[in-house]
Structure 1
Amino acid sequence: MQYDFVPMPARKPLKWPNGARIALMLTTNFEYWDRTKDTDKPFYPGGPSIITDTLPGNVYDNPNWTWREYGQRVGVWRMFECFEQAGVPTSCTMNAKMGLERQAVVRHAIDRGWELVAHNYVQTDLLSNYQFDIEGERQVIRETLRVYEEVVGRKARGWLSSSLRSTPNTADILAEEGLSFLTDLLNDDQPYLIRTECGRPLVSIPYTSEVNDFTVFLRQGKDVDGAFRVFKEQFDELYREGATSGRLMNIGLHPHVIGQPFRIRALRDFIAYAKSFPDVWWATREEIADWYLENHAGHIG
């Protein structure tokens, strides 16, 4: 994986379709966690825990597992109601085990035409575990893509690694498998091209760990009004900057976090706020990737 370091002042203005200032993505992460793992060592579950005391991987961690399952049983449906009542899409990510074990959630997104991005096989098996095993990483990616096609009915176009823990080989493998975008990188407010060994470029469509319900609610301790202010401040500044060169904004959302009753208003209020502005592109990552592959020479040649 290689990409050029091109600072913002050295770029040409990015002109989104129809004069949009900002491409806005509200990302709902569909994630499944195995109850246990065959190890007596603590293992990283693929996301923060609500109770931080660690247990061996082969011991069932009831409060943390059922806290996460709340998102699948209850929280995600509360989020779906927000999107549907407002008439805006959500860009969903889906790990393979979610597609196999929680098909009602996935089917709801498919039936509404919402985007689904491949999101690793299971949250508890990070690609960084395969840093020195490229064939092992390739097999995880291929099995994830196989299940995606089986569940969704078409091939995946893009990828988000669990906990963003990819390796230097990930982009090269994804390009070999025919994908067009990667959303692991956190280093920009605009898309750019990633060069790969096979010669097929990937579009980087940055994710965010800052404007993310885990960070805002669990790490920063914001209440619902504080979270809304974070979302609003991010939007306002990117919208201002987008008057001269288009920007991307993503909010990372997890149904067991923002899907809680005392947090959901932050999402509902932000959607209403963003909808009050013109020149907002409620984009999918696939739309951004396709457009950028055709137009990148007008931005970073």
Structure 2
Amino acid sequence: MHYDFVPLPDRKPLIWPNGKKLAVILTTNLEYWDQERDDPAPYYPGGPGIVGGTLGGDVYDNPNWTWREYGQRVGVWRMFDVFAAEGVPTSCTMNAKMGLERRAVVDAAVARGYEVIPHNYVQSDLLTDFAKDKEKERAVIRETLKVYRDVVGKPAKGWLSSSLRSTLNTADILAEEGLTFFTDLLNDDQPYMIQTESGRPLVSISYTSEVNDFTVFMRQGMDVDGAARVFQEQFDWLRQEATETGSGRFMNIGLHPHVIGQPFRIRAIRDFIRYAKQFDDIWFATREELADWYAENHASHIG
């Protein structure tokens, strides 16, 4: 994997289709965790716990596991209702075991026309476990893509690693497997091209660990109005930059059904959507739409 370091002031203007200034991606992470795994090492369940203390992977952690399952049983449906009521799409990420163990959620996303992106095999295992073994990493990716194709009904186009823990080999493997965009890199407000060993480029469509319900609610302890202000502040500043420079931006909000899907938090994303919809120069986009467009037009932005 290689990408050029091109500072923002050195780029040509990014001109989105139809005069849009800001592309907005609302990411709903559909994630499944195994109840146990055959490893006494501390279990990494993909984010902060609802209660303190860390149990080994070979011990069932009831509050943390069932808290996450709340998102699958209840929270995600509340989110889908909000997106439907407000008439905006969400870009869903799905690990393979979510498709195997909680297929009703994935089927509902597909039926609603939402984008679905592979998100590793299971949330509790990381690609960095295979950082020194490219073929084992490739095997995990291939099995994930196979399940994705069987469940979603078409080949995958992009990828988000669980906990963003990819390796220096991940992008090369994804390009070899025919994917076209990569979402792990956190380093930009615009797309850019990634070069790979195979010669097949990927488009980087950055995720975010900052404008993320885990960060604002669980790590920073904000209430629903504080979280909505964070989302709006990000939106306002990026839109202002795009207006002043004539160069478009995108923003992503990372959402987890067991966090934002709680009744006392869901209003944060609803209020943000209603605010953003006031502006006619906003593009509620999917990652695939952005990646396909940028792959054809990147030379006019970063040659």
Please report the TM-score for the alignment, with normalisation by the length of structure 2.
Answer: 0.99
2: distance between equivalents of 1:119 and 1:48?
18
Secondary structure in structure 1 of the residue aligned to 2:261:
coil
Match of residue 154 from structure 2: 154
Match of 2:275 among 273, 280, 290: 273
- Give 1:50 deviation, angstroms: 1.0
- Give 1:46 deviation, angstroms: 1.9
Secondary structure in structure 2 of the residue aligned to 1:156:
coil
Stretches of 4+ aligned residues off by more than 3 angstroms: none
Secondary structure in structure 2 of the residue aligned to 1:242:
helix
1: distance between equivalents of 2:149 and 2:252?
25
| Residue identity opposite 1:246 in structure 2 | G
Alignment of 1:1-301 (within 5 A): 1-243=1-243, 244-301=246-303
1: distance between equivalents of 2:52 and 2:179?
36
1: distance between equivalents of 2:153 and 2:261?
27
2: distance between equivalents of 1:169 and 1:41?
25
Aligned-residue identity in percent: 74
8 Å CA contact retained: 1:22, 1:246 = yes
| Residue identity opposite 1:268 in structure 2 | R
- Give 1:43 deviation, angstroms: 2.4
- Give 1:112 deviation, angstroms: 1.1
2: distance between equivalents of 1:27 and 1:289?
15
1: distance between equivalents of 2:41 and 2:18?
53
The alignment's C-alpha RMSD in Å is 0.6
- Give 1:277 deviation, angstroms: 0.7
| Residue identity opposite 1:138 in structure 2 | R
Q: Can you list the C-alpha shifts for 1:241-280, whole angstroms capped at 9, x where unaligned?
A: 1121000100000000000000000011001001011111
8 Å CA contact retained: 1:46, 1:126 = no
| Residue identity opposite 1:189 in structure 2 | D
| Residue identity opposite 1:154 in structure 2 | K
2: distance between equivalents of 1:210 and 1:103?
29
2: distance between equivalents of 1:120 and 1:39?
19
| Residue identity opposite 2:282 in structure 1 | V
- Give 1:47 deviation, angstroms: 1.9
2: distance between equivalents of 1:166 and 1:38?
22
- Give 1:55 deviation, angstroms: 0.8
Task: Provide structure 2 residue ranges, at least 5 long, that are not aligned to the other structure.
Answer: none
Q: Can you list the C-alpha shifts for 1:44-92, whole angstroms capped at 9, x where unaligned?
A: 1222211130111110000000000000000001100100000100000
| Residue identity opposite 1:102 in structure 2 | R
1: distance between equivalents of 2:42 and 2:274?
42
| Residue identity opposite 2:115 in structure 1 | E
My pick for the range that moved more, 48-57 or 266-275, is 48-57
My pick for the range that moved more, 64-73 or 44-53, is 44-53
Aligned residues: 301
Please report the TM-score for the alignment, with normalisation by the length of structure 1.
Answer: 0.99
1: distance between equivalents of 2:103 and 2:68?
16
